Each structure stands twice: as C-alpha cells, then as structure tokens.
Structure 1
Amino acid sequence: MTGRLSMGSGQPIKLAERRVFSDSFKPLYNEGMSLVERAAEYLDGPGRVEARKLSRMAATLYAAESMRLTTRLMQIASWLLLQRAANSGEMTRDQVASEKSKVRLDTASAPDNAIGWNELPEAFLALVNNSLSLQNLVRLMDEEIYGRNAGMTDMPPPRRSNPVSDQISLLNTAFARG
C-alpha cells in the first residue's frame, strides 16, 4: 500500500499530507513530544543511575547511543513543530519545505549486536526503539508529502552493520575525538 488513493479526478490523495494538515495530526504530534519528554526525564533521572552500573564498554555505548537518541528526537520534534506551524497557518507549506531542509530524519543507531548492547537498561532500549519507529514513520510521511529524500542525504539503514566502524565510533566518543 502506497498511502495514496485516487478520487475521480485521477489525482492521487496523499494520506500522509491529509494526516499532517488536519486535526488527525495532533495524536502524532503528542506522541512525538511525549517521547521527547519521557527520554529527557529518563536520561536526567533513572538513566544516570543505571548508567553508573554499566561496564566500561556498555557505558561508552550508552553515552554514544544517548547522544544519537537525543539528536534523533530533536530532529523529529523539529519536523513535528514545522508541520504544526503549517497546520495552524503560522507558516506556509513552502516556508516549511524550506525550513525542513535543515531537519535530518536519518539518525542511525548502533547495531543491537554491538559489544555492551545486551547490558543496556531495558527502559533505555525501549526509548531507542520507540524513537527509531517514530523516526521511520515521520520519514515516510515526509517523503510522501515533500518527495523522496527531500532535504536529506543518503539514508543509512536504521542500524549499522559494520562492527569495525562501530568500535571506532565508540572509541572516538570515549576519547572525545571527532
């Protein structure tokens, strides 16, 4: 199913566009903002406590994945806020299209077979997985409304599968090198 229906005019109806530019957008917006809030609360509270209990490798992975999580959620929130602004008439669709070119909906996650992944707290992993699912949904809606890969670079898969690259990334994070 492509998310498109056709009316008598032969023009396809973009279901994602209908959803974003109507009252049915509110639940998606609320879901996204709620996830941002839950992640912030977790990372500032229970996440700090749980991270102290992790092995050195798992703690490094947790730190790197926390940065990816917050980046992913801030990008999703930016996209949602832009759509809400268009929906409420604060911005035109053209203005939104221009501004959303700064939003990236392609923040990957470490592979679930990375060293230390199985030590990460369950609540943290749930936030990561929920954010990846929401990012995927938002990306698909964005592609339907604005065109495939509009404003995005080549999309990496949701989870990278190169263990060497993953370890180098972890080491760079651990030693604060870019």
Structure 2
Amino acid sequence: MGSMGIRGSFNMVKLAERRVFSHSFKPIYDEGMGLVEEAAEFLDGDGRILVRSLSRTAASLYAAESMRLTTRLMQLASWLLLQRAANSGEMSREQVAAEKAKVCLDTAEPEEGAPGWEELPDEFCDLIRRSIRLEGRVRRMDQEIYGDGLAYHNDYPVNPVSDQIMLLETAFARG
C-alpha cells in the first residue's frame, strides 16, 4: 500500500466509485445499453438482408465479426449491469468484484484489412468501431474503480456464454 496505508487506499476506492456512480456513469450506461439494442436490431434486421449480397469471403468475415461484436457487447452489458447493481446498493462491492471476475473487457480486435472487409456494410463496421471504443472506456473505468491488478485476458471461463447468461440473470434479477 506504500505510504498511503489501508485507510487512504479505501478512501481512493470510494472516491473512484462515487465518481463512476455519479452522473458520469449514466451516459456510459445508456450508451452501452443503446449500442447493445442497436446492434441486435441491425444483426436481426438489415444485417440479415445485407449479408446475402456479400461474397463468400466477406460473408464468412461478417459471421466471425458478428460473433466478436456480440461477445464484446455481452461482456460490456454484463459489466454495466453489475455496476448499476452496485450503484443502487443491490450488490456489495465484493459481490460485484466476484461476479465481474467472469467479465472479459479485452475482446478480440476486428480483422480490419482482412479479405472481404471492404465489402462489409458501413453500419456494421461503425457498430464494431463504436463497441471497441466503448470497451476501452469501460476498461479504463474498471481500472479506476478496481485497480490495475486485474487480468483482462482471462483464461478462465470454460463456458463464457453460460457465464455471461448467469451474470445477466443475476443483474436483471436484482434490478
């Protein structure tokens, strides 16, 4: 802890939490959940139509990038919902920390420049880029609250989809 001691460290965490859970959290929460909804609408709507006109190479890339985008957004939504639960007092910091250990805020980068990338719909590429930027902002916020000692490339979850479903169920059950 250095010269700061336990009390100083605790106060820094509380200050970081207050800042994150203040008015600065709502915009990032709204942006994240809005992006989840926007991506779902695109992937289930225009995306299904537009993918039919892509070459085989671009269609394969679209499928892979859709999976990456969906995974990234599930991770972000899980983190945001957990922080909202902590903010509202429905979960303790310790409960949130234990649950968020299952969240990976460092998902695979998009394969920009890969064969077929230039064929991908602009709206889809925009969703990918916005999700990457949001992930970076959330990762910085997470580090501010919980510290730098967290590993972002988790070798842990054996079944990340199942873990994310459990996280979402936990967060929604409490909110």
The bucket for the TM-score relative to the shorter chain is 0.7 to 0.9
Q: How does 1:113-132 map to 2 (within 5 A)?
A: 113-132=113-132
Residue 114 of structure 1 aligns to a residue whose secondary structure is coil
Q: Note the alpha carbon deviations across 1:69-91, whole angstroms, 9 max, x for none.
A: 00000000000000000000000
Question: Which residue in the other structure is 1:102 paired with?
Answer: 102
Q: 1:140 to 1:52 in 2, by over 3 A?
A: same
For 2:77 and 2:36, how far apart are their aligned partners in 1?
A: 8
Scaled by the length of structure 2, the TM-score of the pair is 0.77
Deviations 1:81-138 (A, max 9, x none): 0000000000011111111000011112233111111110000000000000000100
Instruction: Classify the secondary structure of the residue corresponding to 1:107.
Output: coil
Q: Percent identity at matched positions? A: 65
SS in 2 for 1:74: helix
CA contact 1:39–1:127 (8 Å) conserved in 2: yes
Aligned partner of 2:42: which letter? Answer: Y
Identify the structure with the greater helix proportion. Answer: 2
Q: Runs in 1 of length 4+ with deviation above 4 angstroms? A: 10-16
Question: Deviation of residue 149 (structure 1)?
Answer: 5.2
> Structure 2 matches for 1:49-128, cutoff 5 A?
49-128=49-128
| Counterpart secondary structure, 2:63 | helix
With CA pairs under 8 Å and 6+ residues apart, which has the higher RCO, 1 or 2?
A: 2
Aligned pairs, number: 147
In the alignment, residue 100 of structure 1 is paired with which amino acid? K
Q: Once superposed, what is the RMSD of the aligned Cα atoms? A: 2.2
Structure 2 equivalent of residue 18 of structure 1: 18
Q: Is 1:139 equivalent to 2:165 in the alignment?
A: no
Of 138-147 and 79-88, the range deviating more from structure 2: 138-147
